[in-house]
Amino acid sequence: MDPTRRPRRLRRDGVREIVSETSLSPSDLIAPVFVDATTDERVPIASMPGHDRVPVASAVDRVEEVLDTGIETVVLFGIPESKDATGSRAWAEDGVVQCAIRDITRETDATVITDVCMCEYTDHGHCGILEDNARESPELTVDNDATLDRLARIAVSHAEAGAQMVAPSSMTDGMVGAIRGALDAAGFESVAIMSYAAKYESAFYGPFRDAADGAPAFGDRRHYQMDPANAREAMAEVALDVEQGADVLMVKPALAYLDIISAVRENFDQPVAAYNVSGEYAMLHAAAEKGWLDLDAVAHESLLSIKRAGADLILTYFAEAIADQL
Ligand code: PBG
């Protein structure tokens, strides 16, 4: 047959570019930065090639490296000097993240977002205050309601230090409302909340848990993070966070959850963020190291697919490398 419709006409060099539906820009990307109070020097993260934990004294240098690529926004994670049952270093005025925020906002123009969670700060590695007897019973882990006011204190301490946006990641029911109320009561009405609204109990977080030293000491997170089998439940989770005042809605992980990103985009009008997590980064690096994949190409294609699915913003360990390519 003689086709009159020839889609290939639009795939010629010079034409392909002008009909491209999706593009990536450095302003879509958010670079994660790990600040570590237990070290005086930069420590490479073995399972995340190219990423280091940096001491507070190097936080500004680290953020300047990010800014040099054209990326304007970082999300900060902290590794405290000590841990305890209630994660008290998470809201300390002289805590690792609080000190880093003050330095970064004083010395750079970066937009600072902070992860609000307790798993890096508790000696048991769970994302909140434990229920009584949690260690003995596999059905028990985090006391949801007792955790809310801790998360609120952490968020306020980040805002006091100068964070422009806080990102609660603990999947505590009611966390967005508790944080919004506490921020407003402390005079931080203009600090935004990016909620990890649909965060799955995923095996793709492995390398991060090494990086941030936040693996649970017992049990797992399935009582608070979402079941990977569920999509409708994600819409219910996101709707709750919207009601409670979430400004940006995050889906995490990204690549295995493109359907969720797309559904959140369809159903809600807030900006949508996707977290291209540590395991998604590590697997491409591992395959590239073996010579099996072209790293730059697969990283770009991955981020493009996340954007195409509907994400406005992407938190990714590839941020700097991709911004350099662009
Ligand atoms: C803290 C937190 C985690 C990640 C971001 N914030 C770990 C977890 O929930 O276990 C994972 C990020 C990544 O894998 O890149 N709760």
pLDDT tens, position by position, 203-257 = 999 999 888 877 888 888 888 999 999 999 999 999 999 999 999 999 999 999 9
CA of 112 to the centre of ligand 1 (A): 18
Q: Which residues of the chain have pLDDT under 70?
A: 1, 140
Pick from 22, 41, 31: nearest CA to 304: 22
Query: Of 83, 252, 290, 307, which one is the catalytic site residue?
Result: 252
Distance between the two ends of the chain, CA-based, in angstroms? 41
Residue 218 sits at the vertex; the CA angle it makes with 128 and 84, to the nearest 5 degrees, is 45
Cβ of 169 less than 6 Å from ligand 1? yes
Q: And the tokens for 42?
A: 């930069």
CB contact at 8 A, 100 and 34: no
Cβ of 117 less than 6 Å from ligand 1? yes
No. of helices (H) and no. of strands (E), the chain = 10, 10
Cβ of 276 less than 6 Å from ligand 1? no
Atom 11 (ligand 1): residue with closest C-alpha?
A: 205
CA of 88 to the centre of ligand 1 (A): 19
CA of 235 to the centre of ligand 1 (A): 21
Q: Is 290 a catalytic residue?
A: no
DSSP assignment of 98-163: HHHHHHHHHH---EEEEEE-STTTBTT--SSPBPTTTTT-TT--B-HHHHHHHHHHHHHHHHHHT-
Q: How far apart are CA 277 and CA 280, in angstroms?
A: 5
Q: How far apart are CA 35 and CA 79, in angstroms?
A: 6
**Which positions ≥6 away from 284 have C-beta within 8 Å?**
293, 295, 298, 299, 302
Q: Is 252 a catalytic residue?
A: yes
Cβ of 195 less than 6 Å from ligand 1? no
Stated length of the chain: 326
Atom 5 (ligand 1): residue with closest C-alpha?
A: 169
CA of 299 to the centre of ligand 1 (A): 20
Collapsed DSSP state (helix, strand, coil) of residue 325: helix
Question: Cα 197 from chain centroid?
Answer: 11
Q: What is the pTM of this model?
A: 0.96
Pocket test for ligand 1, best of 34, 79, 117, 141 (most atoms within 8 A of CB): 117
Beta bridge partners, 84, equal 122
| pLDDT for position 263 | 98
Pick from 165, 139, 155, 133: nearest CA to 224: 139
Pocket test for ligand 1, best of 205, 280, 283 (most atoms within 8 A of CB): 205
Locate the ligand 1 atom nearest the alpha carbon of residue 199 and give its number.
9
CA of 9 to the centre of ligand 1 (A): 44
Cβ of 314 less than 6 Å from ligand 1? no
For the purposes of burial, counting CB atoms within 10 Å of the CB of 66, is it exposed (0-12), middle (13-18) or buried (19 or more)?
A: buried
Cβ of 214 less than 6 Å from ligand 1? yes
| pLDDT for position 136 | 75
CB atoms within 10 A of CB 213: 18
CATH classification of 21-325 is 3.20.20.70, yes or no?
yes
Q: Phi first, then psi: give them for residue 117, nearest 5 degrees.
A: -160, 175
Question: Cα 97 from chain centroid?
Answer: 15
Locate the ligand 1 atom nearest the alpha carbon of residue 205 and give its number.
14
CB contact at 8 A, 326 and 25: yes
CA of 170 to the centre of ligand 1 (A): 9
Atom 6 (ligand 1): residue with closest C-alpha?
A: 169
